[in-house]
A and B are shown apart, each in its own frame.
Chain A
Amino acid sequence: MGKVNFAGVIRDVCLEYVPEALVGDHCLVHVGFALAVIDEAAAAETLRVFAAAGLLEDEAKQSGPDGGESDPQADREGVACWAPPGRPAP
């Protein structure tokens, strides 16, 4: 188990399925299990393609706080903030 920060709410999350997760990584969490570590480079690349096509502002506007979901079943993206000993430090 590890701890994941969802926009300020820290929850215990099972990290068994993401052995590659490091403290500080963003991950996709579903019903208490992290299923994937989010590839920040890929996320930025999609936005870069939009920006290059003139479809985004140069500086993205903050449209609201990240992670506004309240449904415990909802898929969420959060930041791993604690992982069990034995995992490499970031």
Chain B
Amino acid sequence: MKHLSEYRDAEAMRRIADHIGRLVTRRWAIMEVCGGQTHSIIRSGLDQILPPEVELIHGPGCPVCVTALETIDQALGIAALPGMIFCSYGDMLRVPGSRGDLLGVRAAGADVRIVASPLDAVALARQYPEREVVFFAVGFETTAPASAMAVRLAAQSGLGNFSMLVSHVLVPPAIRVVMESSGNRVQAFLAAGHVASVMGTGDYPPLCREFRVPIVVTGLLPLDILEGIRRTVVQLEEGRHEVENAYPRVVSEGGNARALAVIGEVFEVCDRTWRGIGPIPASGWRLAPAYASFDALSRFSIDAVCSGESLRCRSGDVLTGAIKPHQCPAFGRECTPRTPLGATMVSDEGACAAYYHAGRSADGLTAGRQQG
């Protein structure tokens, strides 16, 4: 985009933050749902220039963080199978399962590869027809068009050695869980702009009405996020609760019709367990019956693993906004990006890792970037 630098302009950020400060008359708690937004907020220090009345609560929108422990364990089991090529986004390699992580499986001799796109995994299946290739499909609605197209391509090409471990999750059911949780403090949402680029904005009006919350579709650059916050604060101050699109350069009301068509062909909605949160009804996508033969879980029998989380990890409280990452006693001590107790300390989009890399400490001061 021609205007990328303007959307990162530090002086403009400060002026808009000051402008928001003149709009607020009381305290407001706003949740940014998307982990990419959390990363952008903490890296740019945007939360520290906002008026003190506006609190940002970091949401569960980090796919690496919410992929169920059981699914990680299944990935570890599949990756270790003889002759397997297991493909994953890089972030997933350090996510702790019950017994180690994918990096450990690779160190023990398994062929675990980092790919930038599911199409890379399809290409590997073509290149190595004598081996099984599994792609670990995690992600929100933004990532699903790529996963769906990869499966369809494999089906069209008759690739019998390609399959997928699918763990796709959906944003609107997570918003519902946050609003229905006891002790919820969230009064408004910044919805993830890139999710809406695929899905459009149609899921949000019913949530606005039911929970009486403003939902503002917001981009990921610092100025986008400030504009989303500004519009949210205006609604809150005026007592409105509507959907607004603050990211019109990318998001249309109907979303991407072609992507929705392919997703609808390849996937179907299912219940899914979110790490740190628990089971959420109708909160994920799995392969539709017509593509069930590409489901890695039905193709390979994996021994059931007795799953257990670290008792010291409070990532569930972080994901629902009950605590900030540095309020966890383990933060920065036994839990660091090198030795993560929970998934929120792994990904750049995880709130704990974002706080750690920005040098946030328990007293709220910036201590400078720590050496991880």
A52 at the B interface (CB under 8 A) = no
The residues of B that contact A30 with a CB separation of less than 8 Å are 142-143, 146, 194
Interface string of A45-87 (1 = CB under 8 A from B): 1110010011111001111101100011111010000000000
Which residues of A lie under 8 Å from residue B246 when comparing CB positions? 46
A84–chain B nearest beta-carbon distance, Å? 15
Known A-B contacts: A57-B11, A60-B6, A61-B11. Give 8 more (CB < 8 A): A30-B142, A32-B146, A36-B256, A44-B3, A45-B248, A47-B3, A57-B9, A64-B8
Contacts A42-B249, A43-B1 given; does A33 touch B116 at CB 8 Å:
no
Q: Is the CB of A28 within 8 A of B248?
A: no
Cβ–Cβ contact A39 & B249, under 8 A: yes
Q: Are A75 and B16 in contact (CB under 8 A)?
A: no
Smallest CB gap from A44: residue in B:
B3
> What are 30 A-B contacts defined by CB distance under 8 Å?
A14-B119, A14-B146, A14-B149, A17-B259, A28-B197, A31-B117, A31-B118, A31-B139, A35-B145, A35-B256, A36-B197, A36-B256, A38-B250, A42-B249, A47-B7, A50-B223, A55-B15, A56-B6, A56-B12, A57-B9, A60-B5, A60-B12, A61-B5, A71-B348, A73-B89, A74-B36, A74-B348, A75-B36, A75-B194, A75-B220
- Interface check B333, CB cutoff 8 A: no
Across the interface, A50 reaches (CB within 8 A) one of B16, B248, B249, B256, namely B16
Contact B149 A16 (CB under 8 A): yes
Interchain nearest-CB distance for B193 vs A (Å): 9
Query: Contacting B1 at CB < 8 Å: which of A16, A26, A63?
Result: A26
- Does the CB pair B120–A32 fall under 8 Å? yes
